[in-house]
Amino acid sequence: MASLQACIAVARAPPLSHSPCLALLARALRPIRCTLRPQVRFLSGDMAMDWSFNWTAQGVSFRRGEMRFRVSLKEEASVDAKDQRVGAKAIPKLMLVSDLDNTMVDHLDKSHTGLLRFNNLWAAEYAHNSLLVFSTGRSLEKYTQLRTQFPLLTPALCIFSVGTEICYGANMEPDQDWVNYLNEGWNQAVVLEEVKRLNLRLQDDSEIRPHKVSCQIDKKDATEIIDTLSKRLKDRGLNVKLIFSHGIDLDVLPKGAGKGEALAFLLQKMRREGSAPQETLVCGDSGNDIELFEVEGVNGVIVGGAMEELRQWYDINGKHSSRLHLAKERCASGIVEAIGELSLGPHLSPFDRMNSNGIQPAVKASEKGQLTPSGVAQREVVEFNTFFTKWMNGEVPNNPESFQRLTSVIASGSTMVYPWGVEQSLLQSVTSAQSKHGLTKDKKIRVWIDCIQEQELANGVLMVTWHSWQMSEGTERKGYFATAILREKEGTPNGVEWLRVHETPRKS
Ligand code: GLC
Ligand code: MG
């Protein structure tokens, strides 16, 4: 066991060279007095190590057969918060940059249908090779509040306060280069003085940021106020940008700031790192999103229900662009619609692909002998969970054939560790759900999967980790950390079967 753990530790610790692997392995095996005869081979992108060893215990010598593991060097699109490198390790297939209020989040949809549908699609088809970016007018404080109310995924990075703050990773490290750039020629105190001199109503303290002063004004006075304020700030030597959104909000920013400028900065940074995305899709609904659509080379979606100021911009500037889509559907459903219309990748989530026989595979499962395509284990995790939830909610037909979608992918002898600390046969756990069809039909459970990651541990053996969230009407959301081991299996919907699952409840 110790040696297996050592192998896994090595497998998870790039950068790799064969010598630390051997050192770790030798250390792990030392207590059982063995001689190790390793052979290391480098394959394209992978490292294989075969070894045999002699093991002497109580004077008896055993010769164990050969063992093998392979370390995958494939790395997925990601963000390195410490180095402030974006997508440093791979080229993202899609970078989706979305506004939040009334774009990703529909404040009128209390059951979050569109958002959950987007989450389902993203976790199944995009999380392994694409980047999710939120670009919002909100400050970090107001964004954090929104996350408690809506089932939002965790993005790779966030652009806050109308493109004035770019923050990376879980700790939301600000991009210092961006801060330095915006500092030039900006003076927040002067802006505040002029805003007060015009008697404008400032927004909440949380929304007044180092590079953003925001107030609320009457729509009818907007043109006049914007003209006067621009002139006065210019006279005081400031180069600013004024953005009017939602027919009420006025943001004063440094000239070089804004959602569009921040995205252009990010893309330039990624280009320098050699990790610019293959495609970018920007998504918005209001005035402060206009700039996003003007960034060179991006695709864009104006979601259904967009504000007048953005629709007007579209009529004048966007109508004839084949890269812009004016969605019929509202918010996150409009984003899913645009992914399909603009041919940016799969647009049917497992939720949408489900029929009475289970879930139609999104792509052909891998052929025997071929390397498992990256992302299939993640897709299996999302599909399985989606089907399981639909079964409990009574949203798929109650018949043994359709239930087989679940049992047919469980390896014999596999186990599950429950959040309450009980280990059970995985097949038994799944089978026991057959009689529970429709159990939650009156209070439907909604599930979403966040932070999903897949890693190949050995040839055809995959580890998937994710955060699973559950909620149902009138109850608090519950979260779990989950880990599963899957392995290649021909003839299953995604070419893999389940070996083990482990769930632990989250504290918050
Ligand atoms: C968000 C921000 C607000 C800003 C508005 C428009 O609502 O909280 O400060 O004025 O977006 O950009
Ligand atoms: Mg919005």
pLDDT at 70: 44
- Say if strands 496-505 and 478-488 run parallel, antiparallel, or are unpaired: antiparallel
Q: Which of 300, 320, 353 is the last residue of a domain?
A: 353
Low-confidence winner among 65-69, 356-360, 447-451, 480-484 (lowest mean pLDDT)? 65-69
- Each residue's pLDDT tens digit, 368-405: 344 457 899 999 999 999 999 999 999 999 999 889 99
pLDDT at 90: 79
Residues 440 and 469 placed together within one structural domain of the fold: yes
Mention every residue, 6+ apart, whose C-beta is less than 8 A from residue 350: 120, 121, 124, 359, 362, 379, 382, 383, 386, 387
Residue 278 lies in a domain: yes
Instruction: Give, using CA atoms, the residue closest to atom 1 of ligand 1.
Output: 137
Rg (CA), the chain: 26
Q: How far apart are the CA of 372 and the centre of ligand 2, in A? A: 39
CATH of the domain at 315: 3.40.50.1000
Residues 420 and 289 placed together within one structural domain of the fold: no
pLDDT at 360: 65
Q: At 27, is the pLDDT very low, low, confident or very high (cuts 50, 70, 90)?
A: low
Q: Distance between CA 156 and CA 115 in Å, rounded?
A: 17
Residue 58 lies in a domain: no
State the distance between the two ends of the chain, measured CA to CA, in whole angstroms: 33
Instruction: For CA atoms 385, 386, 392, 397, give the dihedral sign.
Output: negative
Q: Distance between CA 88 and CA 232 in Å, rounded?
A: 43
**By CB neighbour count within 10 A (0-12 exposed, 13-18 middle, 19+ buried), where does 451 fall?**
middle
Residues 393 and 485 placed together within one structural domain of the fold: yes
Q: For all residues of the chain together, what is the average pLDDT?
A: 85
CATH of the domain at 236: 3.90.1070.10
DSSP 48-84: EEEEEEEEEETTEEEEEEEEEEEEE----S-EETTTT
- Tell me the residue range of the domain where 233 lies: 186-254
- Each residue's pLDDT tens digit, 404-425: 999 999 999 999 999 999 999 9
Which is higher by pLDDT, 42 or 285?
285
Residues 339 and 429 placed together within one structural domain of the fold: no
Q: How far apart are the CA of 340 and the centre of ligand 2, in A? A: 22
Residue 162 in contact with ligand 1 by CB distance below 6 A: yes
Read off the pLDDT of each residue in 32-60 and give the average, rounded to a whole number: 43
Residue 356 pLDDT more than 60? no
Residues 441 and 299 placed together within one structural domain of the fold: no
- Each residue's pLDDT tens digit, 200-240: 999 999 999 999 999 999 999 999 999 999 999 999 999 99
Mutate to test the pocket of ligand 1, among 100, 134, 162 (most ligand atoms within 8 A of CB): 162
pLDDT at 43: 37
Read off the pLDDT of each residue in 449-463 and give the average, rounded to a whole number: 96
Q: Distance between CA 29 and CA 48 in Å, rounded?
A: 19
Residues 322 and 275 placed together within one structural domain of the fold: yes
pLDDT at 193: 97
Q: Which residues pair with 80 in a beta bridge?
A: 85
Residue 425 lies in a domain: yes
Residues 280 and 160 placed together within one structural domain of the fold: yes
Q: How far apart are the CA of 213 and the centre of ligand 1, in A? A: 10
- Burial letters 224-248, b for 16+ CB under 10 A, else e: ebbeebbebbeeeebebbebbbbee
pLDDT at 359: 61
Residue 47 pLDDT more than 90? no
Residue 64 pLDDT more than 80? no
**Residue owning tokens 């569009």:** 260
Residue 406 lies in a domain: yes
Q: Which 8-state DSSP code applies to residue 136? A: -
Q: At 355, is the pLDDT very low, low, confident or very high (cuts 50, 70, 90)?
A: low
How many independent structural domains does the chain possess? 3
Residue 32 pLDDT more than 60? no
CA distances to 26, 51, 56 from 37, in Å: 10, 5, 15
Residues 339 and 442 placed together within one structural domain of the fold: no
**Percentage of the chain lying above the pLDDT 70 cut:** 79
Q: How far apart are the CA of 165 and the centre of ligand 1, in A? A: 13
Residues 159 and 203 placed together within one structural domain of the fold: no
Mention every residue, 6+ apart, whose C-beta is less than 8 A from residue 22: 36, 38, 40, 49
Neighbours of 362 (CB within 10 A): 20
**Percentage of the chain lying above the pLDDT 90 cut:** 73
Residues 390 and 482 placed together within one structural domain of the fold: yes
Residue 44 lies in a domain: no
Smallest CA-to-CA distance from 163 within 226, 211, 197, 128 is with 211
Q: Which 8-state DSSP code applies to residue 209? A: B
CATH of the domain at 502: 3.10.450.50
Q: Distance between CA 297 and CA 186 in Å, rounded?
A: 29
Residue 344 pLDDT more than 80? yes
pLDDT at 470: 94
pLDDT at 149: 94
Residues 292 and 430 placed together within one structural domain of the fold: no
Residue 53 lies in a domain: no
Residue 66 lies in a domain: no
At residue 277, φ and ψ (nearest 5 deg) are -65, 150
